[in-house]
Structure 1
């Protein structure tokens, strides 16, 4: 299968998505401080919502790249072997690392092996590894998505009206699914709630691919008609920007309304703004379209911001795996000086340390022999001779 030249804006979008992940987790360090002031809590809530594009954007990118590269021809065994090497092997290595980094392992080797197996299956080796468990399911079941497109959605994806009709129908179904996830599943009563199978499903639904399918299919449809998608996202940039502002205010107000003050201080329940909530779903679609349109505008630019986002995008998987470590180290360095800093300065320095540290560590490991076993394969930068052509090569989240 002949390789296609890279879609330049994909790397910038990956970079933005990673920054969103890092920002969410940095906010997690500061948003639960006992001395948090109400004003700071509101500001952190707004930043948290801005960063919510991260996981939906990564799923969208995965769908777009995979469909573009592997829709016409698919050697599934080879496709899966490559994903195992690029995604699961680094995931295994970092799961083992985080299991030791979190504290001393159980005294029994059997207990340690049991805990490790559970962490590998559930993504609980560290708070961010659940995403790898979820995203790999899309690679595993990609032939089913491909078959569905060939049977039902191919013509729709390649025509303007059909695209919107298909996405509208799927969007309504997904909207209902997010309503079930947010309003029904957590409130199921006995005896179903006492079932171990139901508890497992309820607890781990956020890492089940079905609860993220819309973003993957949206990316797949865009991957089958990239030129049309580019044109549309830039055409609607202004009115979608206005829609984004409205949805941002709405979702932020929902999160701010859940802020409470008590003896333990100000409490921000970030679960109110889970991606598996109808309002956040609508917001996520708008922000993906907006971010993609802006990335298209930037794709041929050589300004420092674009180069930086491309650098992050090319190393996004390694950055994702490593950033929890560099965030913890950055927070430890900053902690003794918190009393001399404003919350904003402390958070900014922690964020910079997290991102810069993860980037340095990922690049360093990537240059080592077999470094891709720890941080995944980083695609080389390739510029298409024809900027209108549509393509993509890297599939890491």
Structure 2
């Protein structure tokens, strides 16, 4: 049986979950705004580029949390681990997938998919645009013995090699003309085509470095804490340097290469070299800030609430984006900058209110919390 030694709770992990959820909502609101041909490119950059750390940083904190109380030198109880993780991720994933398939089938009149199509949707995480993250996370969980074996042997030089491999792999997957032409040239009837088209939805290789970095730093948490405390200013500079690099890449594509904002954000994303470095910098920066910077009580409470309800808000926010968008469309309004900012805060606040209400209702009806966020009553 895998033994654990309980370490002090880290508020930084909870706070990072909250701001990451906010960033994901920003990305999805940006997808609405960018449909406006006259969209402000700077607001697009804020919504779609500054927020690009949001998804991969989840893998960092997930790995950090998994390894934090784990003794990697003892036998790993994979069965017990898998049982716990399937309850917290797989069941909510299936519940939310079926909810969105039923909801969207009724709303858009497309009906419920046939069994074969349903299996494909569930495998790739295509029931709604945010659910693919849970599919990748499940694959990370299923490969946990591999990650433990790698983390046991990791050193800083080996991490540097893995980073180089990550940059090379992501660049190939995202920007290889030959590979992408091959994928799109496959006939729609090809069984291989969806496995390659939706590779971002389940290939853990796209994010293996940030996950292993989280695991490695968690295992060496004492040294990591001391490093952050001593290098807070340097980590801040690193964060803004990489953010500047990613934004420069975005603006370069628009002003020098003639890209549209849509093309620019689909190039300057989290898998490009600057995006990978920005993710690493954001992971270290936010962890350090939320560990060693003292915030006013009101702000700390707000960060706590964001983190506590981030899981539900992440899963539910497309529902509110849909209905706010339909209301805007019904009124014939143009997606201007002020409107899209209000759109963002409306979707965020409604998601948090729904999360709070369901969490409270779930205390009386435990099945609700089990299905929506994988939280079970304490024994």
User: TM exceeds 0.5?
Assistant: yes
Q: Select which of 158, 162, 165 maps to 1:173.
A: 165
Higher deviation after alignment, 232-241 or 185-194: 185-194
| Alignment correspondent of 2:314 | 320
- How many Å separate the matches in 2 of 1:330 and 1:186? 40
Residues 312 and 355 in structure 2, CA contact (< 8 A), matched pair in contact too: yes
Q: Deviations over 1:317-366 (max 9, x none)?
A: 21211111122223334445674x88232122211111111112122222
- What secondary structure does 2:176 align onto? helix
| Alignment correspondent of 2:17 | 14
Higher deviation after alignment, 171-180 or 130-139: 171-180
Higher deviation after alignment, 192-201 or 242-251: 192-201
Tell me, which stretches of 5 or more residues in structure 2 are unaligned? none
Rate the CA distance shift 1:133–1:275 in 2: closer, same or farther, 3 A. Answer: same
List aligned pairs for 1:70-149, cutoff 5 A: 70-72=70-72, 74-104=76-106, 111-149=113-151
Query: In angstroms, what is the RMSD of aligned CA positions?
Result: 2.8
- What secondary structure does 2:105 align onto? coil
Residues 232 and 285 in structure 2, CA contact (< 8 A), matched pair in contact too: yes
Q: Select which of 353, 356, 379 maps to 2:346.
A: 353
| Alignment correspondent of 1:373 | 370
Residues 121 and 127 in structure 2, CA contact (< 8 A), matched pair in contact too: yes
- How many Å separate the matches in 1 of 2:285 and 2:341? 25
The answer to whether structure 1 residue 215 and structure 2 residue 210 are counterparts is yes
- How many Å separate the matches in 2 of 1:379 and 1:309? 23
The Cα of 1:377 is off from its aligned counterpart by 4.0
TM-score, L = length of structure 2: 0.85
- How many Å separate the matches in 2 of 1:239 and 1:338? 48
| Alignment correspondent of 1:199 | 193
- How many Å separate the matches in 2 of 1:288 and 1:53? 8
The Cα of 1:122 is off from its aligned counterpart by 0.5
The answer to whether structure 1 residue 296 and structure 2 residue 291 are counterparts is yes
The Cα of 1:213 is off from its aligned counterpart by 0.4
List aligned pairs for 1:50-89, cutoff 5 A: 50-72=50-72, 74-89=76-91
| Alignment correspondent of 1:276 | 271
TM-score, L = length of structure 1: 0.81
| Alignment correspondent of 1:391 | none
- How many Å separate the matches in 1 of 2:229 and 2:7? 23
Tell me, which stretches of 5 or more residues in structure 1 are unaligned? 157-163, 381-397
The answer to whether structure 1 residue 287 and structure 2 residue 282 are counterparts is yes
Residues 65 and 218 in structure 2, CA contact (< 8 A), matched pair in contact too: yes
